[in-house]
Amino acid sequence: MDLGLTGRRAFVTGGARGIGAAICRELAAEGAFVYVGYVGSKAGPELAAEIGGAPVKVDVADYDATSAAVGELGTLDILVNNAGMDDMAFFTELTPERWRPQLAINLEGVLNVTHATLPAMQAAGYGRIINVSSEAGRIGSKRGAVYAAAKAGVIAFTKSIARENARYGITANNILPGPIETPMLEANRQGPRGDEVIAAMANATLLRRIGEPHDVAAAVAFLASDRAAYITGETLGVSGGMGIGVS
């Protein structure tokens, strides 16, 4: 199915690996020119070269740096706010020093990049914003309270942006992944009782399995396309049914 993304210009934050890398590959395969956002690894430039895109080194938690980086890209057609991080622990085990980075990247990073991107989209009268939140933001997460709070903020922010920008021809939607095979999930697998934790995640889905990055990427590509032109302010779970509970 041709999604009609040829010639579209897309920026994917956290695009170097995991879900972000799958999104970059999917958008590029559909014909978009993709700016691959990354922080410090070689994976960002390597992926950009692989897909014929361009690397963009930026810390989304830094507003000034983000504004400068986005300003150099020109008008974007598609923005995918995907950058994220977690720090799994019971809330009482955390300190402000451990929860502030989660808020800065998972929530403020979305605000920073969107704030830098929107004016040009508004002037162009076109835009597709897809924010990668999490089912944790909808149903909560044991040992992930701050992560869930930040992701819930992204859900509400996206709906608000949809309301504010529909008159400019801009849509904004949420994708809520469940457990997906990513480096972040692998880190949890290597932690205490890791296999048990991952099994519990899989069993919390109706499909009783862990998803793959391409599952999320396919949903993002659809929402980025004009086939989804009449969809905005929505929240789509890509989580094997986790959002409605286990039957």
Name the token pair of 14. Answer: 């956290």
Alpha-carbon distances, residue 130 vs 42, 65, 119, 153, 228 (angstroms): 25, 21, 16, 14, 11
Using DSSP's 3-state secondary structure scheme, residue 174 falls into strand
- Give the full edge-to-edge strand order of the sheet including 9-12: 54-57, 33-38, 9-12, 78-81, 127-132, 170-177, 235-238
CB distance 79 to 124 below 8 Å: no
Name the token pair of 38. Answer: 């990354």
What distance in Å separates the CA atoms of residue 228 and residue 128, rounded to the nearest whole number?
9
Query: Cα dihedral angle (3, 238, 135, 209), rounded to 10 degrees?
Result: -160
Q: Which of 168, 9, 160 is nearest to 77 (CA)?
A: 9
Active-site positions read: 147
Query: What is the DSSP-derived secondary structure letter of residue 107?
Result: I
